[in-house]
Amino acid sequence: MIDFFKDEPMDFKPGEEYRYNNSAYFILGYIIELVSGKTYAEYIDETFFKPLGMNNSYYGNTSKIIENRAAGYQKNGDNYENADFLSITQPYSAGSLLSTVDDLAKWYQAVVQYKVVKKESLDKALTSYVLKNGQPTNYGFGWSLENIQGSSMFGHGGGINGYLTASNYLKNENIFVAVFSNCTAHPPGDEATKIAALVLGKPFAWERIDIPEKQLKEYEGVYESKYDNERIITTEDGKLFSIRTGSSKYEFIPYEKDKFFVNNGFTTLEFIRNKKKKIIAVISKSTSAPIRWEKTDKEIPVKRIFN
């Protein structure tokens, strides 16, 4: 597999962009084998699974009979069907492990108790990498770094033929949430975040208020962040929409004066006014770091409105 991508050119120079990929995990698995003298499967089992009591975790094997192994499914139109076949050993160190929610809880406890890596290494792993332009990636060494209702949270999602997972850990509150699905029709990430908020006692609960369409027009415009990204705010049929660089178009619903939320999500927009009550910026908040977008004099691109 490494031979497949080793001679490919870089997509961008280090530090200029952030993009998740599995190639590096294949390389890490190969390094483990070279250094340890064991197969990746042997090393993971002997170094982590057995010592940590993760008795229902395995390196995947298609032919081996594993008690209570969940079959994977996918959706095709309105119908469900068996997931497309994939030899579970093919993803190697990027995704060939089988586990349970209970075992994953043991793993997170071992991590935060420094049984997996030392404190100095974990501190680095849980620090967001910052691009050369100053933009945080909200990603450390193998973990997504987020904030939920004022509490720091780290975790990760996963996906492969027939299966999707999401896990979150709030270190200060010692709250662990994981949602595993043996069907790829419904990503569990949002559900895991909502559950974590409920356990915190701070559920996401915004209620829609009505704002006249004329007032909504005040928010229209092209906004720019310090990272050279754009967020375009438009209104259509009495509704407010936002589309930002590299993302899709979403409706935002008003819940307070100058404040909006996205339905079935966690992102909010808060518009900022100057002393003359004129809108000069918008702050977007989600499970990642807040971003301020300054309002510009640019005209709204017509082609973007109807995307």
**What is the pLDDT tens value at each position of the chain, 307 positions in all?**
889 999 999 999 999 999 888 999 999 999 999 999 999 999 999 999 999 999 999 999 888 899 899 999 999 999 999 999 999 899 999 999 999 999 999 999 999 999 999 999 999 999 999 999 888 899 999 999 999 998 999 999 999 999 999 999 999 999 999 999 999 999 999 899 999 999 999 998 889 999 998 899 999 999 999 887 899 999 999 999 999 888 889 999 999 999 999 987 889 999 999 999 999 999 998 888 789 999 999 999 875 444 4
Amino acid identity for residue 93 in this structure: S
Topology (CATH level 3) of domain 213-305: Lipocalin (2.40.128)
Q: CB burial class (10 A; 0-12, 13-18, 19+) of residue 93?
A: buried
Topology (CATH level 3) of domain 2-200: Beta-lactamase (3.40.710)
What are the start and end residues of each CATH 3.40.710.10 domain in the chain? 2-200
The residue among 31, 32, 26 whose CA lies nearest residue 6 is 26
Q: CB burial class (10 A; 0-12, 13-18, 19+) of residue 170?
A: buried
Q: Which two tokens stand for residue 46?
A: 């002997």
Q: What would you report as the CA-atom Rg of the chain, rounded to the nearest whole angstrom?
A: 22
The residue among 127, 132, 126 whose CA lies nearest residue 17 is 132
E-strand ranges in the chain read 58-59, 73-76, 79-82, 97-98, 144-148, 151-160, 163-170, 175-181, 221-225, 230-236, 239-244, 249-256, 259-262, 268-273, 279-285, 291-295
What are the start and end residues of each CATH 2.40.128.50 domain in the chain? 213-305
- Residue 224 phi/psi, 5-degree rounding, is -125, 140
